[in-house]
């Protein structure tokens, strides 16, 4: 069946190709509706099972969003969105679900309606659902922005107080985030109340309007933001710690490889060399060097261990350097918690082998009933983790190798010594 779905007749005429694209889009929407129904059924079944087991209502369903995310090969954060989306569609928005099943709405457009109606009570949400989606012909040709505007207008008419209260509460969600961008750039995003956001942008735009020094408007706005946030010119070093992990060969220019900037990810070694050179040649900088030893054939870091209950700073840093991101499969969130894969209360050691870096949400999900995690160092020296969900599904992750090109295959003596070292670490 799958083969017939993905079969492509490249020799077909253009109208047939366009029709096939449309068919597959409707099929994607129908599959999304089926996933929503299955997700809602799984949630209901899990909660009923846990209720029968005597688990308090407040604790039922914990970790389920992460299970959904793993099954969909998605991040745990997205898993929570998928779960909420499914429950809203199946239980409260039948017309939107039907429109998704027939392909009149895509999963993204259905998500927009779920999001804009989230502040309403169940009865008003059903009224919005019927008004917008009971006649799917009204959805033809409507863009995303127009659909959102219609949903907002209906929501405000049905319950203006709920919409206003939601806007007031949203102020508490203000934050600043960073994520990697192509070509060793970053996106620094600020979520602000509308008045503050508009004023910030207007101030940057005004500076760009009066500056004529050869830089583009965007460059002036970006440089002005850096200068006003840090209090220093955009081209001047800022006294903030930035951890860069790079192999000795790449640092010295003997090879071209990647380096890792903690909290960002991989960068070309030439970029890392320049960052380090700028730091060590700037008298105002306080750059320091720490040596990390890795297995020559795999790049796996040598382990550390502590007798303390909590991971000490050095070991915690080691785990962050090794794991780089949350170890849950498909989760790209930064490491927030240094977790004992085998809990300390059950004899788990405070070691690099038993330790793993997790984001806050994944660590809490892992502690839910029915979850199990195990870590080990494999024969090649790579740190691996296995996660077992309450349904018995197994998922694996492996710590990424350190920057640098793997060396030549190890000699027999090196293999023996490396194996002996791993046995000592795991003992």
Three-state secondary structure readout of 387-403: EECCCCCEEEEECCCCC
* From 3-17, 298-312, 397-411, the region with the lowest mean pLDDT: 298-312
Smallest CA-to-CA distance from 127 within 161, 85, 156, 103 is with: 156
Task: Judge whether 62 and 368 are in contact, CB under 8 Å.
Answer: yes
Could you tell me how far CA 46 lies from the centroid of its own chain? 25
pLDDT averaged over every residue in the chain: 85
Distance in angstroms (rounded) separating the CA atoms of residues 245 and 262: 8
The percent of residues in the chain predicted with pLDDT above 90, rounded, is 48
Structure tokens at 401: 């190798």
Three-state secondary structure readout of 176-203: EEEEEECCCEEEEEEECCHHHHHHHHHH
Distance in angstroms (rounded) separating the CA atoms of residues 120 and 157: 11
Mean pLDDT of 219-235: 87
Pairing state between β 383-388 and 372-377 = antiparallel
Long-range contacts of 252-259 (CB under 8 A, 24+ apart): 255/404, 255/405, 257/403, 257/404, 257/405, 258/403, 258/404, 259/403
Q: Where is pLDDT greater, at 416 or 272?
A: 272
pTM over the 0.95 mark: no
Q: Is 338 helix (H, G, I), strand (E, B) or coil?
A: strand
Count CB neighbours of 297 within 10 A.
17
Tens digit of each residue's pLDDT (9 = 90 or more) over 160-171: 999 989 988 989
Tens digit of each residue's pLDDT (9 = 90 or more) over 18-74: 998 999 999 999 999 999 999 999 999 999 999 999 999 989 999 999 999 999 999
Structure tokens at 9: 């007749």
Tens digit of each residue's pLDDT (9 = 90 or more) over 293-332: 566 666 666 555 556 667 887 788 888 888 888 999 998 8
Mean pLDDT of 184-206: 91
């Amino acid at each position: 069946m799958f083969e017939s779905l993905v079969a492509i007749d490249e020799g077909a005429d253009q109208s047939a190709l366009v029709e096939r694209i449309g068919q597959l889009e409707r099929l994607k929407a129908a599959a999304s509706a089926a996933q929503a129904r299955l997700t809602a059924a799984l949630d209901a079944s899990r909660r009923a099972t846990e209720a029968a087991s005597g688990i308090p209502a407040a604790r039922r369903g914990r970790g389920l969003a992460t299970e959904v995310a793993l099954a969909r090969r998605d991040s745990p954060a997205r898993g929570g969105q998928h779960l909420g989306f499914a429950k809203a569609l199946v239980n409260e928005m039948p017309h939107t679900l039907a429109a998704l099943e027939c392909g009149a709405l895509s999963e993204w457009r259905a998500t927009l309606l779920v999001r804009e109606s989230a502040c309403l009570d169940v009865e008003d949400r059903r009224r919005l659902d019927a008004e917008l989606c009971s006649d799917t012909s009204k959805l033809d040709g409507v863009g995303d922005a127009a659909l959102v505007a219609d949903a907002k207008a209906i929501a405000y008419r049905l319950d203006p107080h709920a919409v206003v209260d939601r806007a007031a509460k949203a102020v508490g969600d203000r934050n600043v985030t960073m994520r990697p961008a192509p070509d060793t750039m970053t996106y620094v995003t600020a979520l602000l109340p509308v008045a503050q956001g508009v004023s910030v942008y207007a101030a940057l735009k005004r500076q760009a309007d009066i500056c004529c020094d050869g830089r583009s408007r965007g460059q002036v706005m970006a440089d002005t933001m850096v200068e006003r946030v840090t209090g220093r010119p955009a081209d001047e070093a800022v006294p903030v710690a930035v951890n860069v992990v790079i192999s000795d060969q790449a640092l010295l220019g003997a090879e071209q490889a990647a380096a890792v900037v903690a909290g960002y990810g991989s960068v070309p070694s030439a970029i890392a060399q320049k960052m380090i050179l700028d730091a060590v040649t700037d008298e105002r900088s306080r750059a320091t060097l720490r040596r990390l030893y890795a297995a020559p054939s795999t790049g796996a870091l040598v382990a550390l261990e502590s007798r303390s209950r909590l991971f000490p700073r050095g070991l915690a840093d080691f785990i962050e350097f090794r794991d780089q991101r949350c170890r849950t499969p498909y989760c790209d969130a930064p490491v927030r918690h240094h977790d004992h894969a085998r809990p300390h209360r059950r004899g788990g050691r405070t070691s690099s082998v038993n330790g793993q870096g997790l984001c806050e949400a994944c660590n809490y999900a892992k502690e839910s009933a029915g979850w199990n995690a195990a870590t080990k160092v494999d024969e090649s020296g790579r740190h691996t983790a296995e996660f077992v969900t309450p349904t018995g599904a197994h998922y694996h992750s492996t710590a990424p190798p350190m920057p640098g090109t793997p060396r030549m295959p190890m000699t027999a003596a090196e293999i023996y010594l490396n194996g002996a070292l791993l046995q000592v670490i795991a003992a």
